[in-house]
A = this chain, B = another copy of it.
Amino acid sequence: MGMGMARNALAAGIDTRGYDLSIAACETFAEAGGMAVGSVAEAASDVDVLIVMVVNAAQAREVMFGDNGAADGMRPGSVAMMCCTIAPKDARDIGKELLDRGLLVLDAPVSGGKVGADAGTLTVMASGPKEAFDIARPVLDAVSGRLYAVGDEPGLGATYKVVHQLAAGVHLAVAAEVMAFGAHAGCDPEIVADIVSRSAGNSWMFSDRAPRMLDDDFTPRSTVDIFVKDLGLVIETGYATRTPLPLAAAAHQLFLSASSMGHGRIDDSAVVKVYESVTGSPVKRRSLQGNGS
């Protein structure tokens, strides 16, 4: 997703440097006309805005505060835009530490996935001081289709994102439960998917993921383990705020089960395999259910 954001910043005429642990990613960015650099420190030194797009809070801390981290090299008053999905508590803690070093912080998680990042149409849920929004405006405009300014303090952006992930994660598990129930109760999975996706039972996730289940195609676009993490953040935030979340808790157990079965690194729609392994009824379309299936 960082690649898509960097390329869209570049396309908007913003002088953009990029760094990734993957040398191939750096090369791709250089081929696209960007300036690929050799370290986090080099990417962060003397910029107006630094976008950090990593997978969790540990990586965010490493990038900002590790050896040769970004925070040391950044100019006071420049903006650290933290785009990863992390717990609100981590967003607050990291934000405070950056503030103490004289930096401005946007707690700015995004929604829209790789597709939205590539298209420059991400939804950004950001909290931070007005000054940070003003400085980061050209970058925000370049990468987002919709910007929600949700408050002044780090932690609020993360909270909105975690709340959103509850909906996305549980809906995906519901899609699996619906498809598996239909298949095991004697319905044609293809007709189930068609009825549900055109009726009051539809969800964005159902429309997007049920076809992958029908196609038996679990090429990873987003993985089971990402939802193990994201619903983990949901449960952790529910725990911290004393909010009972029975549906999110049940869905988290299903993703954990899929990961435990060895499916952590394949597409998140593979959560359906938990149900299939129990019922023995495949959800893929009947035309794919040959004798060997």
In the complex, whether A65 has a CB less than 8 A from a CB of chain B is no
Copies of this chain, whole number: 2
In the complex the two chains form, is A185's CB within 8 Å of B123's CB? no
In the complex the two chains form, is B241's CB within 8 Å of A164's CB? no
Chain A residues within 8 Å of chain B by Cβ, number: 67
A170's contact among B112, B165, B247, by CB below 8 Å, is which? B247
In the complex the two chains form, is A201's CB within 8 Å of B241's CB? no
A241's contact among B88, B162, B185, by CB below 8 Å, is which? B185
Residues on the B chain within 8 Å of A123, using CB: 195, 198-199
Residues on the B chain within 8 Å of A167, using CB: 174-175, 178, 196, 201-203, 206
In the complex, whether A48 has a CB less than 8 A from a CB of chain B is no
Chain A interface (Cβ < 8 Å from any Cβ of B) = 88, 111-113, 123, 125, 146, 148, 150, 156, 159-160, 162-168, 170-171, 173-175, 177-178, 180-182, 184-188, 191-192, 194-196, 198-206, 208, 234, 237-238, 241-248, 250-251, 253-254, 275, 278-279
Given A184-B242, A244-B278, list of 7 further CB < 8 A pairs? A112-B199, A160-B192, A163-B178, A185-B243, A200-B205, A202-B203, A243-B275
8 pairs of A and B residues whose beta carbons are closest in the complex = A167-B201, A203-B203, A163-B182, A168-B201, A202-B204, A184-B243, A246-B250, A164-B201
Could you list some 27 contacts between A and B, CB below 8 A? Answer: A112-B199, A123-B199, A156-B187, A159-B182, A159-B186, A159-B187, A160-B182, A160-B191, A163-B185, A164-B201, A165-B201, A166-B174, A167-B174, A167-B206, A168-B199, A168-B200, A170-B170, A170-B174, A177-B245, A181-B245, A184-B243, A185-B243, A200-B205, A200-B208, A201-B204, A202-B204, A203-B206
